[in-house]
């Protein structure tokens, strides 16, 4: 079963996020209290632990939140989900995939440490269709149309 293993926020854009253990996804806004939340298509970012493990295999000491993702998941290959896929997060929240990967305009600290960064290729972004609480350990499931 796929699950959330970290719920992460930051006060400013362009910095690593900290696992706060739980949070509230707000419809048409994002993760409450996070710098990236707002009325746009990239309200919440997700990255799989399996992707982070690829960077660990290169010798980096990285973990959840280090790639500025809001939700770190385990057990689901996020970057293979087509745009428009709906994802249930926890008991109530529902998101829709709006973007796979992103263009990094400025190289992040991870890129300079490893010569690579996984978020631009394997991170995904969603907009929140239905809000609800999320916390470490909550299930993640693709919702069939």
Instruction: Provide the pLDDT for residue 41.
Output: 94
Longest dimension (CA), the chain: 41
Taking the chain (145 residues) in runs of 10, the rounded mean pLDDT of each run is: 97 88 98 95 96 88 89 97 97 97 61 61 94 98 89
pTM of the model: 0.91
Sheet containing strand 132-135, strands side by side: 30-31, 22-26, 132-135
Structure tokens at 49: 């632990």
What does the pLDDT read at residue 115?
55
pLDDT recorded at residue 47: 96
Alpha helical stretches, state H, 10-131: 49-56, 109-114, 119-122
Q: Which CATH number characterizes residue 100's domain?
A: 2.40.33.20
d(CA 106, CA 111): 10
**What total number of domains does the chain contain?**
1
Q: What is the residue range of 68's domain?
A: 3-143
The confidence score (pLDDT) of residue 88 equals 98
């Amino acid at each position: 079963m796929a699950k959330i293993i970290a719920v992460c926020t930051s006060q400013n854009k362009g910095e690593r996020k900290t696992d706060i253990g739980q949070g509230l996804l707000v419809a048409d806004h994002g993760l409450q209290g996070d710098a990236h939340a707002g009325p746009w298509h990239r309200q919440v970012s997700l990255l799989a632990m399996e992707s982070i493990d690829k960077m660990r295999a290169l010798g980096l000491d990285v973990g959840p939140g280090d790639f500025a993702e809001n939700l770190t998941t385990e057990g689901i290959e996020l970057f293979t989900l087509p745009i428009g896929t709906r994802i249930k997060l926890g008991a109530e929240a529902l998101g829709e995939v709006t973007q796979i990967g992103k263009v990094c305009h400025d190289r992040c600290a991870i890129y300079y440490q490893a010569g690579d960064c996984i978020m631009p290729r394997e991170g995904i972004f969603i907009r929140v269709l239905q809000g609800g609480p999320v916390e470490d350990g909550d299930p993640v499931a693709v919702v069939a149309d």
